[in-house]
Chains A and B, each alone.
Chain A
Amino acid sequence: MIVMKEYSPKVFDHISQLPGFSEQSVRTHLVLYEGYVNNTNLLAEMMREWLAVGKSGTIEWAEMKRRFAWEFNGMRLHEYYFENLTATATALDRQSQLYTKIEEDFGPYELWERGFKGTGGMRGIGWVILAYDVQTGRLFNVWLGEHDTGLLVDTRPLLVMDLFEHAFLLDYGLKRKDYEEAFFNVIDWGRVEKRLEACLKDQPIVVGEKRRRRATDFHN
């Protein structure tokens, strides 16, 4: 079978020397990520082939279909995660749209941070996402119990934190809080701001005029 490579693993050289993360841990993580890319391609191709020969009614085809979002999201979430990391992190600019937006939706910035980290401290493995609701412009801290469970429909990820054990176990053992601190020290806020900008460009929502926006939300 010739696998059509629709997706190829992105290169994340910029995180090979990440403060608070060992090279081994990052390397392991990237290998895992490539597994998701390979399997997304493989599954997509297999489903296409099975469909072409009229085998879409089989149990195997159905199970491949069920699994697809898991592989695809495993790929995409990792890409968001690696992309929002940087070895040269600076704090989020208080004048930025993102900062304003966060304070609009969560109150003081610290409250948002507490909520995001608190979500990360939940028992069990998964992902924490700061997500943007395309329909109302509202931000949410969301918990995903698996790659394919819990993501809010029609939202876009702005900031993604991996809380599978492979993300922290090698460097932090069971100290998940320490990992979260390390993560916060390497967030590429510039990247997160760009993601928000892209959302706002697609569907302009006036940031900094909370009341007016909320009022229109309720009328929609």
Chain B
Amino acid sequence: MLYQAKSFEHLKGLRDFSDQLLQNHLALYRGYVKNTNQLATILLNKVKLWKTGTMEYAELKRRFGWEFNGMRLHELYFENLTKRSLSLKKQSPLYEKLRQDFGQFSTWERGFMGVGGMRGIGWVVLTRDPLTGRLFNVWMDEHDAGFLVGSTPLLVLDVFEHAYLQDFGMSRTAYVQAFMKAINWPVVEERFNASNYIPGPVVEVRRRAS
């Protein structure tokens, strides 16, 4: 199997989240892993059998990004949660970058939570554009819609109904607040520190070449 479902059992007992919700959420996640593997296998077999010109191949291909991202986004989400959450250190490079790009940390936070409050289901992602190093709070309507090409996700918030309905009912604000209190900042910092910033726009290189 190409992808193995990761274990996030350590999240059981997460503050404000019931184990039942978490269990369902993890079961859903495993579904994405399973289907990513299955789709990848079917797609490759179709290529081997010269069936790329078929409707099925095209439709399975269309679906792949949805399953893959459903898997990956959930992994990023679970990974950036912890039972022992501490606030982001003011001395950290990430804090400094958030302050730089959004004005104040609280402004970033308000923006991120605001995106989480948008009507409809989806994802909220704090992501970094490697070409400018700039951070963005991004809304994704679906697993495969709205992600900024080439950017590196740093913090991921799931706002599909399965992420909160059982525990928070219609109070999405309460859920987003609970999420903010459960962020595993060291993981987010690690992602930030590992994210590549390619200084200088690509355009310049091209101009010189021509």
Contact = CB atoms under 8 A, between A and B. Distances in A.
A147 to B, nearest CB: 9
A123 B144 CA distance: 14
Interface residues of A, number: 19
Interface stretch (B7-15, B48-56, B158-166): B158-166
Contacts of A124: 66, 142
Nearest to B66: A124
Most buried by A among B31, B160, B165: B165
Contact of A125 (B27, B121, B166, B169): B121
B161 A166 contact: yes
Contacts of A173: 24
Interface in A161-185: 164-166, 169-170, 173-174
Nearest to B169: A28
Contacts of B142: 124, 145-146
Given A28-B170, A32-B170, A125-B121, A164 B161 contact: yes
Q: Dominant SS at the A interface? A: helix
Given A70-B120, A174-B27, A165 B161 contact: yes
Given A31-B170, A125-B121, A146-B141, A169 B27 contact: no
Nearest to A70: B120
Nearest to B27: A174
Which of the four size classes fits the interface of chain B? 10 to 19
B165 A166 contact: yes
A39 interface: yes
B120 A174 contact: no
B165 A165 contact: yes
Contacts of A35: 119
B114 to A, nearest CB: 15
Interface in A71-128: 71, 123-125
A128 B29 CA distance: 23
Interface string A21-52: 00000001001100100010000000000000
Contact of B161 (A70, A71, A169): A169
A138 to B, nearest CB: 20
Interface in B33-76: 35, 66-67
Given A32-B170, A165-B165, A174 B119 contact: no
Interface of A: 28, 31-32, 35, 39, 70-71, 123-125, 145-146, 164-166, 169-170, 173-174
Given A39-B119, A125-B161, A170-B165, 13 more contacts: A31-B170, A70-B120, A123-B31, A123-B35, A123-B67, A124-B142, A125-B121, A146-B142, A164-B121, A165-B160, A165-B161, A169-B161, A169-B166
Interface of B: 24, 27-28, 31, 35, 66-67, 119-121, 141-142, 160-162, 165-166, 169-170
